[in-house]
């Protein structure tokens, strides 16, 4: 109803709601503070935009300047770390705000799209499928992120409810205090041509997991009991294992959930705290790479971690760090690089913070 009183009443005839021009308005309770900002803008010869270096931060700061009718030139501070060194470097390399117009417009398009989808789809679904018999019933909220996420959860729950557990039995033996499991192989067919169904029917009820029939499993056990085992082949392979990727926010949230059971919101809260304490870099990132110019800073960062991870870093001392495209690749870095330690030794971390920091480092 801020656009037109016609939209105050929820009705299908009012859909779709598409304003001729989108606007912004102040939240309740911030008018006094905003008045101070507007007054300062009026006196300023230039403005330095120090908002979050990302799409959302760019959009919010521009909205503030638009609402305050700022007229003076604007420069942009763009940093990925809150350390004094990074901030000084950022102020020494201020850029014209116009260079970030594309980022602002992308954020604006996202905000407009969210408004159009949320307002129209929420009213449509509520009017079509909501409980209209109860006054004050909750609307059926629809959103760009929340609705697909809810659908994934529902589909997964349906899969769980449809799942029928199937008991099975496996053969196992102990050799030198080590337990081994085994699958019966009759040798009647080549390994590469076996299928799960043929294993079930031709291998006396044995599947890739084990036997689906207990009697058959016991019969197989009796057939080989007290029979010596013979090692017929030994395969040795020499290989190398690539180091794990650096973290973006999503990968960090997944790993924290897998290792520690932390929810996505908790992980974001913790890594935001680490960022504000100058221990790690900007958290809301979508890349696992570092720009090429970070290679020259990596040794200093590692030196800053030597007090925490001395044993791990000892083999690297005196060695030249290899510059790998799997880590350093400016073409794969957008607004920010991957989440890494800043090199500032952390102090007085909680157990939860320490776990996340160790994972990043």
Domain 249-360: top CATH class? mainly alpha
3-class DSSP assignment, residue 304: helix
Residue 209: pLDDT band with limits 50, 70, 90: low
In this prediction, what percent of the chain has a pLDDT beyond 90? 59
State which of 269-273, 307-311, 333-337 shows the largest mean pLDDT. 269-273
- Token look-up 């989108």 returns 22
pLDDT of residue 133: 65
State which of 133-142, 259-268, 328-337 shows the largest mean pLDDT. 259-268
pLDDT of residue 224: 81
> Whole-prediction pTM value?
0.70
Write down the domain spans for the chain.
5-121, 171-224, 249-360
Verify whether residue 6 is a known catalytic residue.
no
List, for residues 59-72, the tens digit of each pLDDT value: 999 999 999 999 99
pLDDT of residue 248: 96
The helix (H) or strand (E) run that includes residue 116 is helix 101-129
The CATH code of domain 5-121 reads 3.40.50.140
In this prediction, what percent of the chain has a pLDDT beyond 70? 89
List, for residues 10-20, the tens digit of each pLDDT value: 999 999 999 99
3-class DSSP assignment, residue 100: helix
3-class DSSP assignment, residue 211: strand
The helix (H) or strand (E) run that includes residue 76 is strand 74-76
User: Which of 2-6, 40-44, 207-211, 224-228 has the lowest average pLDDT?
Assistant: 207-211
pLDDT of residue 173: 75
Omega prior to 16 cis, within 30 of 0: yes
List, for residues 101-129, the tens digit of each pLDDT value: 999 999 999 999 999 999 999 999 999 99
Mean pLDDT of the chain: 88
DSSP H helices in 144-261: 146-162, 196-202, 214-224, 249-260
State both tokens at 76: 């942009």
Residues forming a β-bridge with 96:
75
Residue 196: pLDDT band with limits 50, 70, 90: very low
Closest CA to 337 of 282, 279, 290, 277: 290
List, for residues 279-323, the tens digit of each pLDDT value: 999 999 999 999 998 998 898 999 899 888 988 888 887 788 889
Of the residues 262, 275, 279, 282, only one is catalytic, namely 282
């Amino acid at each position: 109803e801020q656009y037109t009183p016609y939209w105050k009443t929820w009705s299908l005839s009012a859909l779709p709601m598409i304003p001729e021009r989108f606007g912004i308005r102040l939240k309740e309770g911030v008018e006094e503070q905003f008045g101070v900002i507007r007054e300062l803008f009026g006196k300023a010869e230039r403005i330095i935009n120090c908002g979050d270096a990302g799409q959302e931060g760019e959009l919010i700061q521009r909205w503030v300047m638009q609402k305050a009718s700022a007229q003076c030139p604007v420069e942009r501070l763009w940093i990925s770390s809150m350390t004094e060194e990074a901030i000084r470097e950022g102020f020494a390399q201020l850029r014209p705000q116009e260079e970030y117009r594309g980022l602002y417009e992308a954020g604006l398009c996202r905000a407009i799209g969210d408004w159009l989808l949320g307002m129209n789809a929420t009213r449509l679904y509520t009017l079509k499928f909501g409980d209209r018999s109860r006054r004050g019933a909750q609307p059926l909220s629809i959103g760009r992120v929340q609705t697909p996420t809810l659908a994934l959860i529902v589909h997964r729950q349906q899969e769980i409810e449809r799942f029928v557990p199937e008991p099975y039995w496996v053969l196992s033996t102990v050799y030198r205090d080590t337990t081994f499991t085994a699958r019966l192989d009759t040798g009647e067919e080549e390994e590469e041509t076996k299928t799960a169904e043929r294993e079930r029917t031709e291998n006396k009820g044995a599947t890739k997991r084990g036997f689906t029939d207990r009697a058959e499993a016991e019969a197989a056990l009796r057939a080989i009991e007290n029979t010596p085992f013979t090692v017929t082949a030994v395969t040795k392979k020499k290989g190398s294992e690539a180091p794990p990727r650096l973290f973006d926010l999503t990968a960090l949230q997944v790993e924290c959930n897998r290792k520690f059971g932390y929810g996505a919101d908790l992980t974001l809260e913790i890594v935001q705290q680490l960022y504000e304490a100058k221990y790690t870099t900007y958290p809301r990132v979508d890349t696992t790479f570092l720009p090429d110019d970070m290679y020259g800073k990596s040794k200093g960062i590692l030196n800053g971690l030597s007090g925490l991870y001395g044993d791990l870093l000892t083999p690297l001392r005196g060695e030249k760090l290899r510059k790998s495209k799997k880590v350093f690749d400016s073409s794969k870095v957008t607004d920010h690089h991957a989440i890494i330690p800043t090199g500032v030794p952390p102090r007085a971390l909680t157990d939860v913070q320490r776990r996340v920091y160790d994972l990043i480092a």
